[in-house]
Amino acid sequence: MLFSFSLLVALYLLIFPLLLPNKSILVVSNFKFLHHPFSSSSSNKTRPANVSGIHNETLLTDVENIKNASLHVGEQSFQKGNSEDSNNRTVVTFSDSTLQRNSSDIVKGKCFSDEEHRNNTENSSFSPKIQNVGNFSEGKHEQDSIEKSNTSLTNPRKIGLYKDCDLFDGKWVRDDSKPLYPLGSCPHIDKSFNCHLHGRPDRDYTKWRWQPNGCDIPRLNATDFLERLRGQRLVYVGDSLNRNMWESMVCILRQSIGNKKRVYEITGRTEFKKKGVYSFRFEDYNCSVDFTVAPFMVRESSFRGKNGTFETLRLDLMDKAASTCQDAEIIVFNTGHWWTHDKTSRGEEYYQEGNHVHPKLDVLVAYRKALTTWAWWVDQNIDTNRTQVFFRGYSQSHFSGGQWNSGGQCDRESEPIFNETYLQRYPAKMRVAEEVMQKMTSPVSYMNITRLTDYRKDAHPSIYRMKHESEAEWNSQDCSHWCLPGVPDTWNELLYASLLQLGKGTWKSL
């Protein structure tokens, strides 16, 4: 009988472990999936520890152990073997956003504490002066940026957003959940950006999402953005491409407001009677999103010479309108598209410093002088303990067969560029901007959107910028600006991600 009992015990010890679940499938430590605190489905109106997929821990997962995992709010479920999902994806749901990843991009899991993560990122590529600089240069990208990921088992893409992630190095992926606001839903879009209004037949240009190679970024949560912006100002300063971005942000944030009458353009106040200063107020949050027109960043002026008075550009003086943004909590600057020989009188007797007008000056030299003036102004006038400063890089144009004033076209483009061979050279102006920012004493976050816009030849207004009434209007296409909804929405998602990544002021992870 003792022998029989021993035999039963041995069989039990042999068989019982086989009945246990595989503990190596996934390890989650102190990792919570929560409803957004301000969503309609949340009963808890206080801020949770993690919002919109921004975590304090780094979660990495094992491709050999995780075949098809689906993590949802409040539950974890695991499937062994093959799934009905033919793409073999890992889907992680964070309240209002779903991040999808190929399982080939996943590596063995480990969670880091805040202290360990800080130690691991101390030697990152972040500059104390220029933050978030995308490392784009000619010939750097050897793989296709849309069809292929350069993520490998030795350099995994992480779930979430991290300070060592270059948000601007990535690819465009199809996302049918886009756009962030429905076509035709926002009345504040400039007619020249409203391609849907002017009869563009396709919607595919709105169905792309930017995916960084090193991490996942959150979908822009408009309610969270407004809550963090409560009582503050966000100001875009620059040319019409920044107007593109400003209108995009107004539309994104407006979409989350129930009573749309609580979002309105401010008029009548003295500061908004100045030329080129516009502002939308979000009454429920006591905040505003503004745009200040300053296409050159420096002052447009005039000079009285021997042969009369003529227009000049003061390379040594900041645009007067810039003074309206000094007290803002977030400022996004840009300049670039107006710096061409055609728009600067070919550099002949146009650029002025003090009482001297240069007989002729190369546009890149003038651009450097102007940005140096801007950099000095920021260093002297912006309190960066209070204000976060961003500089948005150059947005690529896609004229074919000419330029904006010589019959250039892009109306036949219906999808992004898939082959990097067809991408353009990195603009010399952006190298100048990077060099100037490196010398600044104030921290500036550089949004290097040049490469990501280069792929999107499909998303310009082209002939859909207006209702055409003449042959000349049909032949004049806009291949510089962007349709809305469209690419500028992604710039604002990257601004949102950058603010969370930097974690300053109300943007700290709580």
Domain-wise residue ranges, the chain: 20-124, 170-507
Options 279, 478, 480, 489, the catalytic residue:
478
Supply the pLDDT for residue 473. 63
Q: Is 24 a catalytic residue?
A: no
Count how many Cα atoms sit within 13 Å of the Cα of residue 394 in the half-sphere of its side chain: 21
3-state secondary structure string, 11-51?
Answer: HHHHHHHHHCCCCCCCCCCCCCCCCCCCCCCCCCCCCCCCE
Q: Measure the CA–CA gap between 461 and 244, rounded to whole angstroms.
A: 12
Query: Is there a contact between 321 and 374 (Cβ–Cβ < 8 Å)?
Result: no
Cα–Cα distance, 75 to 126 (Å, whole number): 36
Give the per-residue pLDDT at 181: 98
Please identify which residue in the block is written with the tokens 């991009």: 105
Q: How far apart are CA 228 and CA 292, in angstroms?
A: 22
CB 452 within 8 A of CB 170: yes
Please give the angle made by the CA atoms of 67, 68 and 74, to the nearest 5 degrees: 135
The residue from 103, 145, 240, 397 that is catalytic is: 240
SS3 158: strand
Among the listed residues 96, 224, 481, 498, the single catalytic one is: 481
State the angle between helix axes of 487-502 and 240-254 in degrees (0 to 180), rounded to the nearest 10: 80
Taking only the tens of pLDDT, the chain with its 510 residues reads 555 556 565 655 555 444 444 332 222 222 222 233 333 333 333 333 333 333 333 323 333 332 333 222 222 222 333 333 333 332 322 333 333 333 333 222 233 333 333 333 333 333 334 564 443 333 343 334 443 333 333 445 565 677 789 999 999 999 999 999 999 999 999 999 999 999 999 999 999 999 999 899 999 999 999 999 999 999 999 999 999 999 999 999 999 999 999 999 996 555 544 578 899 999 999 999 999 999 999 999 988 776 777 899 999 999 998 888 999 999 999 999 999 877 787 788 899 999 999 999 999 999 999 999 999 999 999 999 999 999 999 999 999 987 766 778 999 999 999 999 999 999 999 999 999 999 999 999 999 999 999 999 999 999 998 765 566 666 789 999 999 999 999 999 999 999 999 999 999 986
| Residue 166 falls in the annotated catalytic set | no
Cα distance from N-terminal residue to C-terminal residue, the chain: 63
Residue 481 annotated in active site: yes
Instruction: Reduce the DSSP state of residue 172 to 3 states and report it.
Output: strand
